[in-house]
Amino acid sequence: MPTVVALDVSLSMTRPVTIGDNTEEFQRRHLAIHGINTLLDHFTVNCKLEFTSVVLFSYLWEQLVPFTRDVESIKTALTKLEEYNKTCFESVLAGISTLVVEEWGTATSMQVILITDGNMGVGPGSLKETLKKWKSIQAGEVSDEKCPLPFPFHAKLHVMCIANPNDPALSDVIPLYQQLIDLNNKGGEVYVPEGNLSFSSIQAMFQRLADSCYSPYYGLLRCGNLKCNVTLFPPPERYCKQHEFELVQKSICSTLDICGFLDLHDISSPPTLSRHLVLPAAYKADKLHREEKDETEKSKEEEEDSAADEGKVPSFTVLLHGSLKVEGMVAITKVGEDWFGMLYSWADSKKKSSLMLSLFEPGAEAVTWIGDIKNLAPISDFTENPYGEDDNRTPFPVRPLDKRSYAQSCVVWIKAVGLQADMQKVIRHAKKLPDKQQQFYKELNRIRKAALAFGFHELLDAMGAMLERECTMLPGTAHPDAALQLTHAATKLRSEMSTDPAQLIMPLRTNFTTDTDG
C-alpha cells in the first residue's frame, strides 16, 4: 500500500509551540516532521518494501519526494522546507489523484495522510466552502466542475491534526475532516494528539496510525507437516463485496494451508484479486512472540544469534520456491474460509525470482477451468492416474457442459450476410448431388429448423423456389438423382408438413439410393 504524505506548509503551520519548560521555540511544522519520521521509522522496522511519497501543499501543491522505499531520502528532503500561504485542500487532493493514477493506476490500494493544523481557513477555498461546493457537484447541481473525492483508486484517507486537543476551533473542524473522509468513502480516521502538543504526543499519534494501518502480516505457511513462518507483502486486505445474494466479507487466515499442487499450464492465467510476496519470517515472528512475553536481554542475545544463522537454517519457502520454479507448478493454498490462492515462483523483469501468493476471488469456483476447488482430489484416490502413467495427460481444463455460441454452429440472421452464407451452403451441396446428399439434407434441415424457431415461414417458400431454380439449371451431365432430390426437397419445403418442427425432411428413396448412400 503505497503512501502519500501530504504536509500542510501554509503559514499557520509555522505557529510556535511551547513545550513544557523548554525555552527553545518549536513550530507545529517541526512536530509534523517529527511525526512523519516516526512513521518512516515504523516502515524501516516493519515494512521495508513500502513506497512513500511526500507532497507539500498550501494554496498550491508540489511533490517533494516521488514514491520511494528510501526512507532516508525523505527524511533529508523534509529538513529543507519553506513556508507558503494558506491551507487549501482542493488542489492537493486533485493533485494526489493525478499523481497516483499516473504512477500506480487505479487498481493499487493506497494510504493518503493529510497533515494539517486544524485551521479550516476562511472564504473561498476554505474547507467549509470547498465541501459545500463538492456536495452540490455530487448531488448533480453543478456539472462544470469535478470533485476530486472519492479518489478513483482504493485509498484510505487520514487526517492528522497538529493541534492541541483542547483547541476550541478543533471541535468545528473535526466534523469537516470527517466529511472529507466520508466523501472518499473508503475508510480512514481523523487523528488528534492525546494531550498537549509535544514531540511525544505527536509521536504517539503517528504511532497509532502506524499500528492500525501498517501492521505487517505474520502467518504460518503449512504444507502437511512442513511449516514455515512467513510474512506477506503487501499485507492482504479484507475482502468485502456485495454479491447477488449476500454481502461477502472475508479476512485472510493466519495459516496458509497448501492443499495440493497443479501444473502451471493447467491453472494457466487465473484472475486474481491481489498478489503478495511470501517472505520467510521466522526471525520476526519469533521476535513478536517474544515481545508478548516480557522481553529481556536474553532475547537480544538470541536475536543476534538468529541474525547470524538466518541464511543457513533451511527454510521451507526456499525449498518450495525452488521446486515450484523448476517443475513449473503452483501450490493451491487455502487462505481462509472458502477462500483460496496459489503459490508460485514469480520472476520480475530483473530475472530475480520470488515466492508469490496470488489470491483468487473468495469461493471455491474462482477459476472456472479448474472447476470447484473443493472437488479437487489427491491423485492417490484415483485407480488410474489422471495425469497418465508417463505424465502425458492432464485432467484439466474442466469443460463446461454447454458449448459457447462461437464454438458451435449457431444461426444468426440479423444481417442479410448471415442468411446468405447459410443459403449458399445448401446451394453448394445441391450442385454436388447426389454425392453430397447427406450434407445437403443436413444443412437444409438446419436452416429449416432455425426458420421455424424464428417464425420465418416466408423463408421456407423462398428456399423451395431457389432449389427449383437450381434444378432447372442442372447441367446435362448431372446425375438423374440430383434433379429428383432437388424437386423432392423443394416440394417438401412448401408443403404443410414443412412447418411442423417435429418432422425432418428426409431424402427421397430412389432407385439410385443404394448406390449413393453411405
Partner 1 sequence: MAQIGSHKTIIVLDHSPYFAHSSNQLFEYDVLSKIKTPGIIPAAPITKSLWTVCVETVMEYLRVVYDIFPIKKLVRVVTGSEVMNSWAQKDQNVTIVMNNLAVVGPPKEDEVEEYDVVQGLTKAIEVMCQPSDLQHTLRTSLTDEEAYVDNRGRIICLTNLKSDAQIRMLEGCVSDALNEHSSLAEETDNRLPINFCELVLIHVVPVGDVAKVSERAKHEVSPNLMSEVHVSQSGKFLYNKMIQLVMEHYNLASTTVTGIPMKEEQNASSSANYDVELLHPTETHQDLFNSGNAAEGLIVPSKEGLGINTVTLKWCTPKTNTVEIPPCTTAHRITPVDVNSRPSSCLTNFLLSGRAVMLEQPRKTGSKVISHMLASHGGEIFIHTIPVTRSILEDPPSISEGLGGRVTDYRIPDFREFMKENRLAPALPSMISEDRETPLERAKKHLERTSRCWPMVISETIIFNMASHIDPLPRLIVKEKLDEDDVLECKKAIYHVVGMESRNEPLPVTALGSRGKGPKREEQYRQMWSELETLVRLHANTSPLHQMILDCLLECKKPEDSKTSPKKGEKSVHKEEKMEVSEAEKSWKDIERYQKMTEREKQELNKGDYSEESGPTTKRMRSGSEEPLVRSGGGQNLLSLWTNRIKAVHSMQHVQFAGRAEGEGKAAVLYKQLQEKENEAEATDPPAASKR
- Footprint (CB under 8 A) of partner 1, residues 407-426: 407, 410, 412-421, 423-424
The per-residue DSSP string of 11-47 comes to: GGGG-EE--TT--S-EEHHHHHHHHHHHHHHHHHHH-
| 203 versus 315: smaller Cβ distance to partner 1 | 315
Region from 11-19, 28-36, 176-184, 391-399 binding partner 1, contact rule CB under 8 A: 391-399
Tell which positions 55-74 bind partner 1, by CB under 8 A: 67
Residue-wise burial string across 223-259, b where 16 or more C-beta atoms lie within 10 A, e elsewhere: beeeebbbbbbbbbeebeeeeeeeeeebebeeebbbe
Among the listed ranges 38-46, 55-63, 186-194, 316-324, the one in contact with partner 1 (CB under 8 A) is: 316-324
Among 387, 435, 487, 491, binds partner 1 (CB under 8 A): 387
The Cα–Cα gap between 262 and 384 comes to: 17
**Least spacing, CB of residue 452 vs partner 1, in Å:** 4
Q: Judge residue 214's burial from the number of C-beta atoms within 10 Å of its C-beta, 0-12 exposed, 13-18 middle, 19 or more buried.
A: middle
To the nearest 10°, the Cα dihedral for 39, 44, 46, 48? 120
Rounded Cα–Cα distance for residues 101 and 283 (Å): 36
288 binds partner 1 (CB under 8 A): no
- What is the smallest separation between the CB atom of 474 and partner 1, expressed in angstroms? 12
Which of 57-65, 169-177, 225-233, 437-445 is the region at the interface with partner 1 (rule: CB under 8 A)?
A: 225-233
Comparing CB distances to partner 1, the nearer of 238 and 399 is: 399
Closest C-alpha to 161, from 115, 196, 120: 115
Query: 461 with 490: CB under 8 angstroms?
Result: no
Question: Site mask, partner 1, residues 98-127, x = CB under 8 A?
Answer: x--x-xxxxxx-------------------
Among positions 320, 359, 490, 508, the unique one binding partner 1 when judged by CB under 8 A: 320
At its nearest, how many Å lie between partner 1 and the CB of residue 282?
Answer: 6
Count of residues of this chain found to bind partner 1 when the rule CB under 8 A is applied: 140
Among 11, 77, 174, 452, binds partner 1 (CB under 8 A): 452
42 binds partner 1 (CB under 8 A): no
Closest CA to 426 of 413, 439, 409, 411: 439
CB-nearer residue toward partner 1: 79 or 472: 472
Coil/strand/helix, residue 90: helix
What minimum distance in Å lies between the beta carbon of 359 and partner 1?
A: 11
Q: Which residue is associated with the grid cell 515494512?
A: 47
For partner 1, the closer of residues 218 and 456 by Cβ is: 456
